Copies of this chain bind each other. A is one copy, B any other.
């Protein structure tokens, strides 16, 4: 038995060190966790970063190699207005857009669909990273589909209000009388769901990177809002929190498309109200150098 002592000691030491080192590592892990948790922002929609099914895509991009011909350059044709007309046009456009408000009370009256086609064509003139045009506009008119969208959003929104959002944000939104009842999703004659394509496909079917896709699609949304205001239709810019994957699957959109925004569009209802908010004056948003 005495002969075994060195071996026993050795085994014991190995076991003790092993346990000690493992405990060490799990302590490190625990130390890291609160740091990560402190950076969690309950108001950040994780759907915007929804990366389901995208690992394959990312791996494939390395293999994307295609000979692209240089695009021919043509002379740029331009309409120039006299200075006085420029000032007038800029003033009038400001006054038109300054009347835009986010309206949550939308009439169920039908709207001309040719106008919707035109405003989406207009949104599609937006610039995009390397001209990738990474947007899909899904226009929903079908009442049953609209209602199902409402159900999905209200289910998730109730959870957001109850659990996910910070107390601060609930307070901020209370001022604007926002809650998880979204009647406009049923009443608005049209819902426009705007998806960003996080990658596309080349002519040969290979995956094609979409640089700055979220910024590009947001710019297109800005142009869409201007186009809607220009024809006298109202909307409210919404980013349905945590509903992206469910709505994407429900609307049968592919996994490289992620929901960025949802705009219910129509005429305002007769009794529509808006919060009495002011915009910042120019000197609070402009710095001249």
What chain B residues lie within 8 Å of A289 (beta carbons)? 138-142, 145, 251
Of the candidates B76, B119, B220, B236, the one whose C-beta lies within 8 Å of that of A101 is B76
* Inter-chain contact B78/A211, CB cutoff 8 Å: no
A219 vs B235: C-alpha distance in the bound complex, in angstroms? 14
* Inter-chain contact A279/B64, CB cutoff 8 Å: no
Interface residues on chain A, size class:
35 or more
What chain B residues lie within 8 Å of A118 (beta carbons)? 87, 90-91, 93-94
Central interface residue in A39, A41, A69, A115, by most chain B CB within 10 Å: A115
A203 part of interface (Cβ distance < 8 Å): no
A154 part of interface (Cβ distance < 8 Å): no
Nearest Cβ in chain B — how far from A161, in angstroms? Answer: 14
Residue interface mask A83-104, B partner, CB < 8 A = 1:
1001101110110011111110
Closest to A72 in B: B276
Of the candidates B125, B267, B271, the one whose C-beta lies within 8 Å of that of A97 is B125
What would 8 A/B residue contacts be, using CB atoms closer than 8 Å?
A10-B12, A18-B21, A72-B276, A74-B276, A89-B232, A97-B125, A215-B239, A222-B223
Which residues of A come within 8 Å of B, CB atoms? 5-7, 9-10, 12-14, 17-18, 21, 25, 38-39, 41, 43, 58-59, 61-62, 64-66, 68-81, 83, 86-87, 89-91, 93-94, 97-103, 105, 112, 114-115, 117-122, 124-127, 129-131, 133, 135-142, 145, 167-169, 171-177, 209, 211-212, 214-215, 218-227, 230-234, 236-237, 239, 251, 253, 260-261, 267-268, 271-277, 279-280, 282, 285-289
